[in-house]
Amino acid sequence: MDLGIAGRVALVAGATSGLGRAAAHALAAEGCALSICARDPDRLAATAAELTAAGAGKVGAYAVDIGDETAVAGWVADTARDFGAVHIVVSNGGGPPPGPVDAFGLDGYRTAVETALLPHIGLALTALPHLRAAGWGRILLVASETVRQPIPHYGLSSTVRPGLLGFARSLVASLGAGGITVNVLAPGYHDTPGLRRQFGADADARLADIGAGIPLGRVGDAADFGAVVAFLAGRPAAFVTGTCLLVDGGATRGIG
C-alpha cells in the first residue's frame, strides 16, 4: 500500500533505539525525509546511515534531549530551515521508573510529569506552527498502554501518561479543518533493548512469561509498531484523529 507520504518531512524523537528507531525505519521505507534526535551522537550517526540505506529521502541527525525545551526549539527550527518544512511529528521518549504508586514521594511524581508528559506536549506545541504553515500534518504521541489501563507495577506511568491523551483530544478541537491530525499510540510490551536492560539476565524468560499472558501469545516486535506509526502518518488515516490506539496484542482487552 502506498501511504502517500513520500517526501514528507518527519521529526522522530528517541530514534536510535526501540520503538523510536522502528518508527523511523518505517517512515524511511515510505520515502519520508527524516530529522531524528537522541542524546548519543555516535548512535545517531549509525542510525542515520541505516535510515539512508533504508530509503529515506534525506536524513538529518540532531543530538537533542527532548526534555530540554530550548534544545527542542532549536531542533524544530533547524529542521524547518534545513528541510524546508515539517509535516510529521513522532514524539517518543523514555518512561518513568517502575514501582507501585506508594513507592514514590511527590518529587517522584513531579519528575515523572517533567520526563513523561511535558516533553511530548512541548514538542507538539513547538512543531505545530510549522504544520499549520504546511497545511498538513500528523502528530503522533508515543505513550504506553498505561494511558488506557493502570498497571500496578508502573504507578508513575499509570498516573502521568493519561494526561497525554487529554492533551491530544483537547488539541483536536483547536486544529479545525487545517489537515492536521493528532493521535496517541499506547504500546504494550515489546521486545526492545530498553526492556531487556530492565529485565537484565532474565530477559528471555521474562519476555516469554509475559508473552504467554498476551492473547496473541507473544510480546510485540518493534517493526510491527513502526508499521502502525507509518499508517497513522499516511493518507489512509486522514480521518483518524483524537484517538488512542492500543498496540499491545490484546493485553488490555475489554477496555472501551
Tens digits of per-residue pLDDT, 6-25? 999 999 999 999 999 999 99
The overall average pLDDT reported for the chain is 95
> Edge-to-edge strands of the sheet including 88-91?
59-63, 33-38, 9-13, 88-91, 137-142, 180-187, 244-247
pLDDT higher than 80, residue 58: yes
Dihedral of the CA atoms 189, 194, 200, 204 (nearest 10)?
A: 40
Tens digits of per-residue pLDDT, 119-143? 999 999 999 999 999 999 999 999 9
Please give the model's pTM, rounded to 2 decimal places: 0.95
Which three three-digit cell numbers place residue 243?
A: 484517538
Q: Which DSSP helix (H) or strand (E) runs through 155?
A: helix 155-160
Q: Are 114 and 152 in contact (CB under 8 A)?
A: no
pLDDT higher than 60, residue 179: yes
Q: What is the mean pLDDT of residues 72-80?
A: 98
**Residue 176 has what pLDDT?**
84
Give a three-class secondary structure readout of 37-65. EECCHHHHHHHHHHHHHCCCCCEEEEECC
Q: Are 230 and 170 in contact (CB under 8 A)?
A: no
Whole-Å CA distances, 180 to 100, 153, 228: 37, 35, 18
Q: What are phi and psi of 192, to 5 degrees?
A: -125, 160
